[in-house]
């Protein structure tokens, strides 16, 4: 089968979970014997044998003034230039199936184009980009998707995303949010955990000779990810738990601010960006991952990576994090509640049995095979 995967960002411009899932899907489909192509965006237009990069400022959009971003989002809804280029690419490749992920930056005319060209279309949800241009629902600001401007935006995107054959959502929460707004009424819909490879790990935890209890954060250093909040909560437990340490991995707009907050606290280490192999080693060496999000996450890739590494997770009880940790093992705390997070951190340091219980649940959790389920949808 000839398949095209479309996401607004792709390696080497990848920066989040959606890109990781798109890349793993490409690898999985290629391994299954299918011919796979990719369409994404980059600072300038270019092509390789398998990837077509469309020119866009999307990769750097947050650095532009608000007025520029406003008009860019308007243009993105009707980007006929990209639509014309994609149409030519589709006519050349003649795919049997197109799988779309995040469309911001690609343009929302694409679904109608696929329908017009009679190409089977499966859409994958990752966030609320169809409900709000920010793609983010922030804790305690949930009504942002119910404002009049948001409703107008949803009416437009609902009309443009017209009737994909099927829709995949990694969390029931995200699918419900779209269904409540009238999306995908006539499409097949499934909840399918993200592409996941359970690692074969036997006594590979890199903790020999270490007496400290190590917590790890991996992700974007942004306000909505709750990193500032995490540093504040962690500071609360240091007096009673001097052997605890927090390692923060990632980059973003708030990196320098986080470094200032951690200044003078030897137990809090800010490492900046690390590559995939370095993150894997840090996960194997850590005792617990913390996901302190202040935004409604769909199904964070970092949690899947922790599960694969048998790394227990403490996560905010928000969005799809809740259902993922309830299914695969983990500890939940009330979002935005520094006292509750500090309490959960202190408790897990003392409770080795709970840690082992979580690891056992992680090892036994076997979600459906992502590629198999995807191909079933393609053939339906």
Cβ-based neighbours of 363, under 8 Å, separated by 6 or more: 198, 310
Q: Is residue 22 a contact partner of residue 101, using CB atoms and an 8 Å limit?
A: yes
Cβ-based neighbours of 323, under 8 Å, separated by 6 or more: 171, 172, 173
In terms of phi and psi (left: phi > 0; alpha: psi -120 to 50; beta: otherwise), the region of 250 is left
210 vs 99: CA distance, rounded Å: 46
CB atoms inside a 10 Å sphere around CB 185 = 9
Confidence at residue 210, expressed as pLDDT on a 0 to 100 scale: 55
8-55 tens-digit pLDDT: 999 999 888 899 899 999 999 999 999 999 999 999 999 999 999 999
307 vs 332: CA distance, rounded Å: 15
300 vs 309: CA distance, rounded Å: 15
Confidence at residue 208, expressed as pLDDT on a 0 to 100 scale: 46
Alpha carbon 341 to its chain centroid, in Å, reads 22
Buried b (16+ CB within 10 A) or exposed e, 27-38: ebbeeeebebbb
Q: Is residue 272 a contact partner of residue 295, using CB atoms and an 8 Å limit?
A: no
Confidence at residue 209, expressed as pLDDT on a 0 to 100 scale: 46
CB atoms inside a 10 Å sphere around CB 84 = 13
Confidence at residue 200, expressed as pLDDT on a 0 to 100 scale: 47
Domains, the chain, with CATH or none:
2-191 (3.40.50.2000), 213-364 (3.40.50.2000)
CB atoms inside a 10 Å sphere around CB 104 = 23
Q: Kindly tell me the burial class for residue 140, based on how many C-beta atoms sit within 10 Å of its own C-beta (0-12, 13-18, 19 or more).
A: exposed
Report the 3 state secondary structure along the chain: CEEEEECCCCCCCCCCHHHHHHHHHHHHHHHCCCEEEEEEEECCCEECCCEEEEECCHHHHHHCCHHHHHHHHHHHHCCHHHHHHHHHHHHHHCCCEEEECCCCCCCCCHHHHHHHCCCEEEEECCCCCCCCCCCCCECCCHHHHHCHHHHHHHHHHHHHCCCCCEEEECCHHHHHHHHHCCCCCCCEEEECCCCCCCCCCCCCCCCCCCCCEEEEEECCCCHHHCHHHHHHHHHCCCCCCCCEEEEEECCCCCHHHHHHHHCCCCCEEEEECCCHHHHHHHHHHCCEEEECCCECCCCCHHHHHHHHCCCCEEEECCCHHHHHHHHHCCEEECCCCHHHHHHHHHHHHHCHHHHHHHHHHHHHCCCCCHHHHHHHHHHC
Q: Is residue 196 a contact partner of residue 172, using CB atoms and an 8 Å limit?
A: no
**pTM (predicted TM-score):** 0.90
10-residue mean pLDDT profile of the chain (380 residues): values are: 97 88 94 97 95 94 91 94 97 97 95 96 96 93 96 96 94 97 96 73 49 90 92 88 92 91 90 91 94 94 92 96 95 94 93 92 91 92
Q: Is residue 38 a contact partner of residue 10, using CB atoms and an 8 Å limit?
A: yes
The full length of the chain comes to 380
264-275 tens-digit pLDDT: 888 999 999 998
- State the angle between helix axes of 338-350 and 227-235 in degrees (0 to 180), rounded to the nearest 10: 60
């Amino acid at each position: 089968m000839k398949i095209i995967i479309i996401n607004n960002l792709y390696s080497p411009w990848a920066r989040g979970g959606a890109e990781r899932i798109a890349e793993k899907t490409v690898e999985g489909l290629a391994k299954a014997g299918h011919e796979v192509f990719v369409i994404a965006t980059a600072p300038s237009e270019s092509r390789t044998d398998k990837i077509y990069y469309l020119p866009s400022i999307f990769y750097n959009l947050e650095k532009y003034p608000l007025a520029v971003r406003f008009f860019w989002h308007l243009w993105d809804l009707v980007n006929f230039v990209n639509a014309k280029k994609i149409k030519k690419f589709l006519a050349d490749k003649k795919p049997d199936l197109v799988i779309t992920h995040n469309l911001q930056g690609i343009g929302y005319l694409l679904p109608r184009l696929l329908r017009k060209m009679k190409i089977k279309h499966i859409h994958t949800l990752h966030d609320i980009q169809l409900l709000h241009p920010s793609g983010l629902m922030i804790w305690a600001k949930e009504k942002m998707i119910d404002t009049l401007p948001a409703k107008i935006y949803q009416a437009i995107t609902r009309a443009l995303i017209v009737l994909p054959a099927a829709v995949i959502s990694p969390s029931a929460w995200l699918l419900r949010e779209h269904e409540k707004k009238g999306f995908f009424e006539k499409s097949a819909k499934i909840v399918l955990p993200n592409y996941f490879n359970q690692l074969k790990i036997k006594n590979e935890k890199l903790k020999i000779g270490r007496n400290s209890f190590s917590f790890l954060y991996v992700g974007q250093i942004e306000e909505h990810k709750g990193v500032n909040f995490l540093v504040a909560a962690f500071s609360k437990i240091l007096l009673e738990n001097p052997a605890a340490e927090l390692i923060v991995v990632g980059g973003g707009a708030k990196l320098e601010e986080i470094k200032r907050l951690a200044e003078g606290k030897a137990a809090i280490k800010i490492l900046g960006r690390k590559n995939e192999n370095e993150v894997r080693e840090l996960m194997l060496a850590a005792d617990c991952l913390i996901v302190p999000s202040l935004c409604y996450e769909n199904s964070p890739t970092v949690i899947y990576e922790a599960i694969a590494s048998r790394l227990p997770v403490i996560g905010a009880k928000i969005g799809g994090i809740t259902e993922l940790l309830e299914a695969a093992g983990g500890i939940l705390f009330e979002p935005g509640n520094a006292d509750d997070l500090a309490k959960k951190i202190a408790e897990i340091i003392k409770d080795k049995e709970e840690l082992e219980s979580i690891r056992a649940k992680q090892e036994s959790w076997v979600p459906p095979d992502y590629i198999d389920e995807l191909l079933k949808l393609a053939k339906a």
